[in-house]
Amino acid sequence: MRTVDFTPLYRTIVGFDRLADMIDTAAKQETGVAYPPYNIEQVGEHEYIIELAVAGFSESDIDVEIQENVLSVAGKRGAGEAQDSRNFLHRGIAERSFERRFHLADHIQVREARLENGLLTIRLEREVPEAMKPRRIAINGKTGAKLLTGGRKASAA
């Protein structure tokens, strides 16, 4: 695995410490874990869906949790179930415990999680707070107030 040094970027960016830490963390995570398989789909400008193939798991076997912009999905089969007494000739459905983590951007909210036909579907939506949306800034100077719009100065009405 190749190591990337982000030190030069730290000299030119301000306030992106969390982003750099996320990249470092993602680079250090195990790359060989492929269970359960999943899809991430963008279904709208601000809407996303994560699907995980969790065949053999019920709703009570799966925990979905979000903490500090990290979405964790963990599955653990109930202990002592009747499956232990079954005599498999071939066992292709893993049904083993797992944990998947997804780092979410700021202002991404989990709207819904549902389990249907062996697929866990988690619907996400970006909800930018009003205070974070673009706004006009008044410029006060000797010639009077002016508004900054799209990189140009325009007279205030």
Residue range 99-141, pLDDT digits in tens: 999 989 888 999 999 999 999 999 999 988 888 778 888 888 7
| Contact (Cβ atoms closer than 8 angstroms) between residue 140 and residue 148 | no
Could you count the other beta carbons within 10 Å of the beta carbon of residue 52?
A: 22
Helix, strand, coil shares of the chain as percentages rounded to 5? 15, 40, 45
Residue 91 has pLDDT above 90, yes or no: no
- b/e map 8-19, b = 16+ CB within 10 Å: eeeeeeeeeeee
pLDDT band at 150 (very low <50, low <70, confident <90, very high): low
Q: Give the integer Cα–Cα distance in Å for 28 and 4.
A: 11
Instruction: Go through the domains of the chain in sequence order and give each one's CATH number.
Output: 1-32 (no CATH), 35-79+86-128 (2.60.40.790)
The pLDDT of residue 116 = 95
Q: Give the integer Cα–Cα distance in Å for 79 and 1.
A: 37
pTM summary value: 0.64
Q: Give the integer Cα–Cα distance in Å for 23 and 66.
A: 19
